[in-house]
Amino acid sequence: MAIESFESHPSRYTHWKLSVDGDIATLVMDVQEGDGSERPYILKLNSYDLFVDIELADAVERLRWEHPEVRAVVVTSGKDRVFCAGANIPMLASSDHAFKVNFCRFTNETRLAIEDASATAGQGYVCAANGVASGGGYELALACDEILLVDDRSSAVSLPEVPLLGVLPGTGGLTRVVDKRKVRRDLADHFSSLAEGIRGSRAVKYKLIDATYKLSRFDAKVAEHARAMADRMVGRADAQPVPMTPVEVEVGEGGDRHYPGLTLALSPEARTAEITITLPDDAGPTDAAGAQAQGMAWWPLATFRALNDALMHLRFNHRPIGTVVLRVVGDPKVALAADALLAQDTWFTTEARHAIRRILKKVDVTAKTFIALVDQGSAFAGSFLELALAADRVFMLDDADGDGVHLAVSPLNGGAYPMGNGLTRLQTRFLDDAAAVEAVMARAGELLETQDADELGLVTFAPDDIDWDDEVRLAIEERASLSPDALTGMEANLRFAGPETLETKIFGRLSAWQNWIFQRPNAVGPAGALKSFGGPTQPVFGWERT
């Protein structure tokens, strides 16, 4: 099933209601079982699918841009006695493997966006679980800063995936329980194998939730916690709302996508695609006020939002495409001038940097090979250099004539865009070699020719113009011929060198295990747990442990 759009708007929300009252916003999850779609499953008990999560992702991002006055966000349910039953099981059971994994990746990114809003936008999240929070529903709660659970003698929090479904919690539940909420390992083990979950004061004792309140006091206590959260969070005096307008795109024959400043060209038969970013002729506004006046149309922000949309379409709608060529063309000085503006400490430029950072992280965790090509007219500079640093290989033309083949570093490459491991892409590239990073950053603002870029370690190969076409062609053809399963595992292992964090565990360790478990007969076989769930028969397991 092709996904036409990964954007939404509050006026089109089917499953969420967003309201704002001063510095406190409320997100009410009220999933509609019959939403008029032709999907072969019913979204019972506030269970969610990709389309429910697309709306949530929109709301989280929209609150940052359109409601910077908000300091606290309450996430609750519009249904009685149930907060959220998690990902819809019939949806998972009926989906193919690749969709399940991409669905988990998208929901992981949404939960991380909630945590990022708290960390970088001063918008704290309070989960008001007014009913059962099960599986992915509890994982949504875990993404919030505080979890409040109603004490009605039946509502519980649970991660029942292992005992009920034969899979793992798919959006970081196990990791957040121990790494974020610091639940003791033995208690976490007990909790994660207990299908019915844990209620009330015991859940507080285990540190699975922060507080529990009787139904008669629940709403008032939620309001108290939201007020306290809003008072704790620090906003910015210069914050001004910016409308989050839709990404502009024209879809051509064969699915090619054309955005202002970016083109996604598909070659399905070769299982490759090419993303070409074209910089404008000039850098545009010279001050932050001028950039903010353009809002989402400000070209650096618009270009990266287009990249985000292109990545989502590659993930979900073009899954056989495994190799993506990256090009940036134009004048590197234009990119460096835009970076000088992005580096300013205003609310708008700071939010723009954070948005670019989140989108660059999506490149890191996308299960495609990325090959950056730097030749005549290339402009991998500053923020756009991050795309080359994120690539699995970088080819740079060794042009003896010095005819416009350059890379360029800006101060933003030194810390504005950390990866999920907490390091910059330069630090990850030169792990445990601070001198190499310093040598690169010492050249910030220069247009680096091929020999310099090669000596600094910024490129993988530097063929001359005689060998360029053949070496690039062979590299792309060879990559496209390799096992996609092996490449996904290899790339995920190599991209995140350095320290392990909650985020790298979710996208590395969890994704690898879930990728494997989702293909095992114990989970998805004819008598597997996902297929048997809700039916009259028990799952049949093979008992070998590997």
Residues 209 and 268 in one domain: no
Q: Is the pLDDT of residue 143 over 80?
A: yes
Residue 544 included in any domain: no
Residues 299 and 219 in one domain: no
Joined together, the tokens standing for residue 65 give 């841009």
Q: Is the pLDDT of residue 439 over 90?
A: yes
Residues 117 and 255 in one domain: no
* Full residue range of the structural domain in which residue 215 is found: 11-232
Task: Note the pLDDT tens digit of each residue in 58-89.
Answer: 999 999 999 999 999 999 999 999 999 999 99
Q: Is the pLDDT of residue 216 over 90?
A: yes
Residue 396 included in any domain: yes
Q: Coil, strand, or helix at residue 214?
A: strand
Work out the average pLDDT over 162-191: 95
Work out the average pLDDT over 289-304: 98
Residue 511's pLDDT is: 80
Number of domains in the chain: 2
Q: Percent of the chain beyond pLDDT 90?
A: 89
Residues 68 and 162 in one domain: yes
Residue 232's pLDDT is: 97
The DSSP 8-state label assigned to residue 432 in this structure reads T
Query: In whole angstroms, how far apart are CA 215 and each of 129, 220, 395?
Result: 11, 10, 62
How far is Cα of residue 378 from the mean position of the Cα atoms in its chain? 27
Residues 215 and 285 in one domain: no
Q: Is the pLDDT of residue 36 over 70?
A: no
Residue 132 bridge partners (DSSP): 82
The DSSP 8-state label assigned to residue 298 in this structure reads S
Please, which residues have CB within 8 angstroms of residue 282's CB and are 6 or more apart in sequence?
334
Sheet holding 250-251, edge to edge: 250-251, 257-259, 262-267, 272-278, 323-329, 369-374, 393-396
The per-type count for the chain, helices as H runs and strands as E runs, is 22, 20
Q: In angstroms, rounded to a whole number, what is the distance separating the alpha carbons of residues 200 and 436?
A: 53
Q: With cut-offs at 50, 70 and 90, classify the pLDDT of residue 515.
A: confident
Residues 435 and 351 in one domain: yes
Residues 217 and 298 in one domain: no
Q: With cut-offs at 50, 70 and 90, classify the pLDDT of residue 188.
A: very high
Residue 87 bridge partners (DSSP): 48
Residue 546 included in any domain: no
Residue 47's pLDDT is: 96
Residue 376 included in any domain: yes
Instruction: Give the end of a domain, one of 456, 486, 516.
Output: 486
Residue 467 included in any domain: yes
Residues 308 and 366 in one domain: yes
pTM listed for this prediction: 0.96
Instruction: Give the end of a domain, one of 199, 232, 265.
Output: 232
Residues 216 and 262 in one domain: no
Work out the average pLDDT over 107-124: 97
More confident residue, 531 or 242: 242
Residues 276 and 175 in one domain: no
Residue 291's pLDDT is: 97
Q: What angle do CA 509, 511, 512 make, to 5 degrees?
A: 65
The torsion angles phi and psi of 202, rounded to 5 degrees, stand at -65, -40
Burial (0-12, 13-18, 19+ Cβ within 10 Å), 234 = exposed
Residue 402's pLDDT is: 65
Residue 125's pLDDT is: 98
Burial (0-12, 13-18, 19+ Cβ within 10 Å), 279 = buried
Task: Note the pLDDT tens digit of each residue in 229-283.
Answer: 999 999 888 999 999 999 999 999 889 999 999 999 999 999 999 999 999 999 9
CATH number of the domain where residue 313 is located: 3.90.226.10
Q: Is the pLDDT of residue 128 over 90?
A: yes
Residues 58 and 15 in one domain: yes
Residues 302 and 174 in one domain: no
Residue 296 included in any domain: yes
Instruction: Give the end of a domain, one of 435, 468, 486.
Output: 486
Q: In angstroms, rounded to a whole number, what is the distance separating the alpha carbons of residues 185 and 460?
A: 43
Residue 524 included in any domain: no
Work out the average pLDDT over 387-411: 91
Residue 499 included in any domain: no
Residue 12's pLDDT is: 96
How high is the mean pLDDT of the chain? Answer: 95
Residue 320's pLDDT is: 95
Q: Percent of the chain beyond pLDDT 70?
A: 99
Work out the average pLDDT over 113-125: 98
Q: Is the pLDDT of residue 400 over 80?
A: no
Q: Is the pLDDT of residue 135 over 70?
A: yes
